[in-house]
Amino acid sequence: MISAQTTERFAREVAKYPADQAQSAVMACLAIVQQEQGFVSPESEAAVAAYLGMPVIAVHEVTTFYNMYNQQPVGRYKINVCTNLPCQLRAGQQALEHLCEKLGVDEGGTSADGLFTVQQCECLGACADAPVLLVNDRQMCSFMDEARLDDLVDTLRKA
Ligand code: FES
């Protein structure tokens, strides 16, 4: 399940903490798993738990608390649209619905071509730029009205 290369990466993360605090590296190890496999499966959680010497449920609690961890495979582009109150007051929900309609998916779903997964998310810390979304947990996009959403989808499709 976990390759030697992955284990080496885990070890580098664990080495950042005191010897008896290996579980402090749990978030980093889960991020490595997701980077390599695209999502964190229950089997991966069990492998991380075994590696760090912690209960599987404790690893699962981390995976499910932070929505940047994917618990199932996602499309090439995961788009998280903020639907917290400040964004809601500036058309965040409409942005989410427009994106879902344009891509033919329900919230949380992946488009038939496997390119896009659309999810709602909590505050991204850029409320003044609402509505806001995040692409692949890295690229923040601001002021996402329908025209900008359409441009984003077109740009990502061509990428
Ligand atoms: S509420 Fe959307 S970024 Fe803060």
Specify the ligand 1 atom closest to the Cα of 83: 2
User: Rounded to the nearest whole angstrom, what is the distance from the C-alpha of residue 114 to the centroid of ligand 1?
Assistant: 27
Is residue 95 within 8 Å of residue 144, measured between CB atoms?
Answer: yes
Beta-strand runs (E) in 23-64: none
Is residue 18 within 8 Å of residue 45, measured between CB atoms?
Answer: no
User: Rounded to the nearest whole angstrom, what is the distance from the C-alpha of residue 86 to the centroid of ligand 1?
Assistant: 6
Pocket of ligand 1 (CB under 6 A): 82, 84, 86-87, 123-127, 130, 132
What confidence tens digit (pLDDT) does each residue in 22-73 have? 999 999 999 999 999 999 999 999 999 999 999 999 999 999 999 889 999 9
pTM for this prediction: 0.85
What confidence tens digit (pLDDT) does each residue in 145-156 have? 999 999 999 999
- Give the percent of the chain with pLDDT over 70: 99
The per-residue pLDDT for 19 is 92
Is residue 117 within 8 Å of residue 79, measured between CB atoms?
Answer: yes
Residue from 89, 94, 123, 141 whose mutation best tests the ligand 1 pocket (most atoms within 8 A of CB): 123
As a whole number, the mean pLDDT across the chain is 96
Determine the 3-state secondary structure of 86 from DSSP.
Answer: helix
Is residue 135 within 8 Å of residue 79, measured between CB atoms?
Answer: yes
Specify the ligand 1 atom closest to the Cα of 131: 2
Task: Kindly report the backbone phi and psi dihedral angles of residue 110, in degrees, each rounded to the nearest multiple of 5, phi listed first.
Answer: -120, 140
d(CA 90, CA 138): 22
